Structure 1
Amino acid sequence: MAEEPVQESSTSNAAPLGHLVIPMANRLQDIFAQIGSQSTLELPQVAVVGSQSSGKSSVLEALVGRDFLPRGSDICTRRPLVLQLLQTKRKADGAEEEYGEFLHLPGKRFSDFSDIRREIQAETNREAGGNKGVSDKQIRLKIFSPNVLDITLVDLPGITKVPVGDQPSDIEARIRTMIMSYIKLPSCLILAVTPANSDLANSDALQIAGNADPDGYRTIGVITKLDIMDRGTDARNFLLGKVIPLRLGYVGVVNRSQEDIANNRTIRDALVAEENFFRSRPVYNDLADRCGVPQLAKKLNQILVQHIMSVLPGLRSRLSAALVSVAKEHASFGEITESKAGQGALLLNILSKYSEAFSSMIEGKNEEMSTSELSGGARIHYIFQSIFVKSLEDVDPCEGLTDDDIRTAIQNATGPKSALFVPEVPFEVLVRRQIARLLDPSLQCARFIYEELIKMSHHCMVNEMQRFPVLRRRMDEVIGNFLREGLQPSETMIGHIIEMEVC
């Protein structure tokens, strides 16, 4: 795939469009996250993927310009971090106000970025444990700063091969599945981070990005650690896309080393050193648009804006359909009633509608009647006319009676004398025994009717009752007890009827 540079005509519009389009997408993400929505709306964002210790955290910190991510030689990113960078205006006196906010701590500002790091670590430990466990539950962080461009990034756990600590034996498969759940979405841009001191053909990031984006329309390559390549080698062919081409191209960056981090070297100093590195290397002089964190930030912002604009029509139509559905559901809830009289009237109205709905199901006047199975009154009619009648017809009136039984009963009824006519007593004795066999089918019919009435009470939903789940559960409980209390007298009455016929 040949590299297709982003059109120059849209570059000048990227920043102003970014201030409109990206914040709107961010706001939608916040709304869905706050309400815990499992919405199918796919909101545009950039997912950062790469193997463990590939430099993902360093790239993110360089984009922000501050140290705020957990660092170390072991796995550090153990939960997806949704990072929203929001550009703010500088104050009139030129002062810069930079702070972060977590979604799980609404209203609390973190001006000290060391506190942000500690909170990320603490929140990670709360969900994933303190022994290198991994969780797919998001941490959402907003960073407000005049030194950033409007971008939404998702920092995903690095791909690892060997489980350590509390990690399960299939940790690699789990992390790959977690990453794929983000990058497989057509609305997600993929930032594939690969260290320059490793073979690009064996890059885990490019491999998993290729699985999710085989045409390469959503993948941006980032080559890190250019300054620690073997002497006599360079990444020029990598950056030009001659090794593994990407339509959106590659950007090379120079990370801070672990020694720089230990010595508290600031990111600003690191950016200056990065610029000097590329200027002092003739092999990179003509690749200014492909090298450096500032170029990466601009390219990301520009591509993200264009990507959002391309997916916005479909997103708008899906959002409009969702709004219509939610508005219809909201309208069905009715108005809020605070007065005691109003609440009583509302409750009476709900109970009346419930009774009417139950009666409609019995009489077959329900507007939402099923076309796949019998229900309500039709089901009760079927129980009486088909199941019960068939069970009665299956009772053979002469079963268990032989001619010898009848002859013996007649002889016992005549006593010591011979009778000219057949006496009634043996007939009554024999019939009484056969009538008693009707009791079990009759009781079974009553239980079938009871079960159908219980089923009807569960399916008889009144729209207004969706507002009151406690009321719904209480009504199910009361109606269930009422029907259950009626079943026992019904069974007793059936027994009495059989006994009357026996007598």
Structure 2
Amino acid sequence: MEALIPVINKLQDVFNTVGSDAIQLPQIVVLGSQSSGKSSVIESLVGKSFLPRGTGIVTRRPLILQLVYSPKEDKEHRSSIDGTIELEDWGVFLHAKDKIFRNFEEIRLEIEEETNRIAGSNKGICPEPINLKIYSTKVVNLTLVDLPGITKVPVGDQPADIEQQIRDLLLKYTSNPNSIILAVVTANTDMATSESIAIAKDVDPDGRRTLAVVTKLDLMDAGTDAIDILCGRVIPVKLGIIGVVNRSQADIMSNKSIKDSLKDEASFLQSKYPTLAGRNGTPYLAKTLNRLLMHHIRDCLPDLKTRVNLMMSQFHSLLTSYGEDISDKSKTLLQIITKFASAYCSTIEGTSRNIETTELCGGARICYIFHETFGRTLDSIHPLAGLTKMDILTAIRNANGPRPALFVPEVSFELLVKRQIRRLQEPSLRCVELIHEEMQRIIQHCGSEVQQEMLRFPKLYESIVDVVTQLLRRRLPTTNDMVENLVDIELAYINTKHPDFYKEIAMVPTMIKSVDGNRQNRPKSMYGKFQSGYEPQPLSRSNSNPQLNNGDDATSWVSNLTSSQNGIDPQEMNNHVVNNVTDSVKADGDLRSVLSPVKPVNLLPQVPINSNSYRKLSEHEEHDCEIIERLIKSYFYIVRKSIQDTVPKAVMHFLVNYVKDNLQSELVTHLYKADNADQLLDESEHIAQRRKEAADMLKALQRAAHIISEIRETHMW
């Protein structure tokens, strides 16, 4: 089990190289207030004076100290190349691992210089650790983390929040559940006010991973002792309480050796605490820490192995998503262009590997627009929308001109049906607009693998979006023109010989006959023929009209005039007029004198000025309107069905399929240029940095997994 600590040291080296705190390695965290003897305890464990000394805050960066037992026959750590074969002890810094520090005074200076280099010289702190490895024939294998001393009041140039900064740094290391907390307290102060014990209790309430070290036992007031403290009746910790005696400031100034200090410590404990001397002192502390750390590593190792394997998988996936470094930029550019074009077309065709499950996209949305949005919009347009019966009647009369027609004029039908067909143009153009928007939207929905590369190369992404946008924009007028032409084609020629429409026309004579049959069964009263409420007046002719020589001529004229009016029987009208004229001639003897004072009949008492004018229509007028309405409906449905079928086809041919077929060549033409590759494939800085960090972390994890796998289960017990 002795091999476990070197394993953790190797893992510490691996992960400190990448500067990662992701792996919580087992280690001993040294915690204490300023001037509590924390540095003296660490130096006693090493057997050398190598830590910076002075007033105020001296330790301003975490020092990760790895103690490696290296006997003379240790070939793993000793080498003739670096001259360490005959050395008793030496040090190596991670930031200067090619340099061997044989003099521990040089180690002290290097710690001070490295601290000032990162943390500055204003007594501020820095969380970035210094890694020092000490090889010696006199140490036990340990991994210690020396943290800045707890302080309350800033001094000198220290920032005002120095207390909070130090506390945050201490919590970062002590909160690690795999760490052992070495809380250093002084015997000559009240334990209830100890800052190190308070912090340890915050992160380890039960004291299961806290070991207390009581310093300055020799400085307690006369008549007092630390029996209660050393027996565990004051400090609530589970791993034990060990008392030590450090060198005094006078001993340090006089360069008293650690070896002599350890002898004096043993003498003091034997004389002052004879029953507890065997379980206190620096040598016992070193052995206890070694034993606790080994057992702690053994308990943490299985979970650590699982965590390393899990993180390896995560960082491998992350690194893959960032892509590999580019060696041939022209080749990579062509590959990305091809991949994007393929992904874009696959999204339209529905053959993409990553099918969206939360919303419609690509080809599915295009299909929805064609058959749901566009189709329903056309279905909602009524054939007679915006068309009143008075509009139809006015069109019929205007088409007749001065000549009353026996049948419904074809011109009125054509005029009205064209008006209704034009209503199909706006939704058709709106359909083109929606498809164009979706084609633009597909750029963001063309596969996660392409999106990742687009994030990696933002300039290339912008250029691709610009090329696709311009291509779609160029095709939009062509598609709109074609759709407009489809409607214009329908307007250009009203095909009354259309097979479906011809059936409807064939029924018109039947409708006319049915109305004529109904008309013959009506009463033989002239006044009953007028449906508008106006009664006819006695007829007369002005002096400008040709002279009527006899009753037959008059009857003929009236008959011709009235025969064209709706609902008036010519024969009945003739009889009525002849009787009136004959009676008048008999009375006065002069036809001219009879006709001259009579006012002309107003056969059109109400002429519609616009479509809003309203009057009750005659039966014949109603019938004519119904015929026109029926024909308009029939022909409109035929045209609407055609437009509903041809507009999607036109949009697919002129826009969707054209873009699919020409997208790659368009991208290659505009982007695949030798002088463009470097610029377009310029990665964003954060992606390049993340790839490097992910690659370094993956290497560290792979190395860690290899180190852990070397441990045999038999070595753990």
Structure 1 length as normaliser, TM-score? 0.75
Q: Give the letter for the 1:71 counterpart.
A: R
Which among 209, 220, 237 is matched to residue 211 of structure 2?
220
| Alignment partner, residue 12 of structure 1 | none
Q: Give the letter for the 1:302 counterpart.
A: R
Residue 46 of structure 1 and its aligned partner are, at CA, apart by 0.8
| Alignment partner, residue 43 of structure 1 | 25
Partners of 1:436 and 1:42 in 2: CA distance: 67
Partners of 2:31 and 2:360 in 1: CA distance: 54
Which among 51, 54, 57 is matched to residue 75 of structure 1?
57
Whether 2:432 is the aligned partner of 1:446: answer: no
Partners of 1:375 and 1:132 in 2: CA distance: 60
Which among 253, 257, 275 is matched to residue 248 of structure 2?
257
Distance 1:486 1:96, change over 3 A: same
SS at match of 1:59: helix
Whether 2:278 is the aligned partner of 1:292: answer: no
Asked whether the 8 Å contact 1:80–1:154 carries over to 2, the reply is yes
Of 118-127 and 473-482, the range deviating more from structure 2? 473-482
Whether 2:292 is the aligned partner of 1:303: answer: yes
Asked whether the 8 Å contact 1:447–1:487 carries over to 2, the reply is no
Asked whether the 8 Å contact 2:68–2:142 carries over to 1, the reply is yes
Of 470-479 and 392-401, the range deviating more from structure 2? 392-401
Distance 1:335 1:121, change over 3 A: closer
Q: Deviations over 1:324-353 (max 9, x none)?
A: 666788899999998xxx999888777766
Asked whether the 8 Å contact 1:100–1:116 carries over to 2, the reply is yes
Partners of 1:163 and 1:101 in 2: CA distance: 33
Residue 159 of structure 1 and its aligned partner are, at CA, apart by 2.2
Asked whether the 8 Å contact 2:180–2:293 carries over to 1, the reply is yes
Distance 1:255 1:373, change over 3 A: farther
Residue 203 of structure 1 and its aligned partner are, at CA, apart by 1.4
Partners of 1:57 and 1:253 in 2: CA distance: 13
| Alignment partner, residue 60 of structure 1 | 42
Q: Give the letter for the 1:23 counterpart.
A: P
Q: Give the letter for the 2:28 counterpart.
A: V
Partners of 1:501 and 1:469 in 2: CA distance: 40
Asked whether the 8 Å contact 2:362–2:438 carries over to 1, the reply is no
Partners of 1:499 and 1:298 in 2: CA distance: 93
1:39-438 pair list within 5 angstroms = 39=22, 41-90=23-72, 95-165=86-156, 167-279=158-270, 282-323=271-312, 356-378=342-364
Residue 63 of structure 1 and its aligned partner are, at CA, apart by 1.5
SS at match of 1:136: coil
Return the index of the structure with the highest Cα Rg.
2
Partners of 1:157 and 1:200 in 2: CA distance: 20
Residue 188 of structure 1 and its aligned partner are, at CA, apart by 0.8
Residue 152 of structure 1 and its aligned partner are, at CA, apart by 1.0
SS at match of 1:237: helix
Asked whether the 8 Å contact 1:436–1:502 carries over to 2, the reply is no
Q: Give the letter for the 1:226 counterpart.
A: L
Asked whether the 8 Å contact 1:80–1:157 carries over to 2, the reply is yes
Partners of 1:159 and 1:453 in 2: CA distance: 57
Asked whether the 8 Å contact 1:160–1:172 carries over to 2, the reply is yes
Partners of 2:235 and 2:85 in 1: CA distance: 44
Partners of 1:143 and 1:380 in 2: CA distance: 70
SS at match of 1:47: strand
| Alignment partner, residue 480 of structure 1 | 465
SS at match of 1:193: strand
Partners of 1:159 and 1:326 in 2: CA distance: 37
| Alignment partner, residue 684 of structure 2 | none
Q: Deviations over 1:274-302 (max 9, x none)?
A: 223223xx332221233222211111001
Asked whether the 8 Å contact 2:370–2:431 carries over to 1, the reply is no
Q: Give the letter for the 1:286 counterpart.
A: T
SS at match of 2:181: strand
Partners of 1:101 and 1:273 in 2: CA distance: 30
| Alignment partner, residue 405 of structure 1 | none
The gaps in structure 2 that reach 5 residues or longer are: 75-83, 388-409, 489-717
Asked whether the 8 Å contact 2:354–2:447 carries over to 1, the reply is no
Partners of 2:374 and 2:52 in 1: CA distance: 72
Whether 2:451 is the aligned partner of 1:456: answer: no
Partners of 1:390 and 1:37 in 2: CA distance: 60
Asked whether the 8 Å contact 1:239–1:290 carries over to 2, the reply is no
Residue 47 of structure 1 and its aligned partner are, at CA, apart by 0.9
SS at match of 2:138: coil
Asked whether the 8 Å contact 1:446–1:490 carries over to 2, the reply is no
Q: Give the letter for the 1:486 counterpart.
A: L
Of 359-368 and 255-264, the range deviating more from structure 2? 359-368
Partners of 2:296 and 2:178 in 1: CA distance: 8
Of 270-279 and 392-401, the range deviating more from structure 2? 392-401
Partners of 1:189 and 1:422 in 2: CA distance: 100
Partners of 2:377 and 2:46 in 1: CA distance: 78
Whether 2:9 is the aligned partner of 1:30: answer: no
Partners of 1:397 and 1:166 in 2: CA distance: 87
Residue 304 of structure 1 and its aligned partner are, at CA, apart by 0.4
Distance 1:379 1:133, change over 3 A: farther
Partners of 1:498 and 1:356 in 2: CA distance: 28
Partners of 2:336 and 2:26 in 1: CA distance: 43
SS at match of 1:69: coil
Q: Give the letter for the 1:310 counterpart.
A: D
| Alignment partner, residue 6 of structure 1 | none
SS at match of 1:125: helix
Residue 84 of structure 1 and its aligned partner are, at CA, apart by 1.5
Partners of 2:108 and 2:219 in 1: CA distance: 27
Of 125-134 and 215-224, the range deviating more from structure 2? 125-134
Distance 1:375 1:34, change over 3 A: farther
Partners of 2:385 and 2:136 in 1: CA distance: 92
Residue 160 of structure 1 and its aligned partner are, at CA, apart by 2.1
Q: How large is the RMSD of aligned CA atoms in angstroms?
A: 4.8
Residue 270 of structure 1 and its aligned partner are, at CA, apart by 2.5
Partners of 1:492 and 1:153 in 2: CA distance: 75
Residue 500 of structure 1 and its aligned partner are, at CA, apart by 6.1
The gaps in structure 1 that reach 5 residues or longer are: 1-17, 402-419, 463-467
Residue 51 of structure 1 and its aligned partner are, at CA, apart by 2.0
Distance 1:351 1:110, change over 3 A: farther
Partners of 2:131 and 2:447 in 1: CA distance: 43
Distance 1:377 1:163, change over 3 A: farther
Residue 309 of structure 1 and its aligned partner are, at CA, apart by 0.8
Partners of 2:140 and 2:467 in 1: CA distance: 65
Residue 235 of structure 1 and its aligned partner are, at CA, apart by 1.5
Partners of 2:340 and 2:291 in 1: CA distance: 56
| Alignment partner, residue 3 of structure 2 | 20
Residue 199 of structure 1 and its aligned partner are, at CA, apart by 0.8
SS at match of 1:276: helix
| Identity rate, percent | 43
Q: Give the letter for the 1:96 counterpart.
A: L
SS at match of 1:107: strand
Asked whether the 8 Å contact 2:454–2:461 carries over to 1, the reply is no
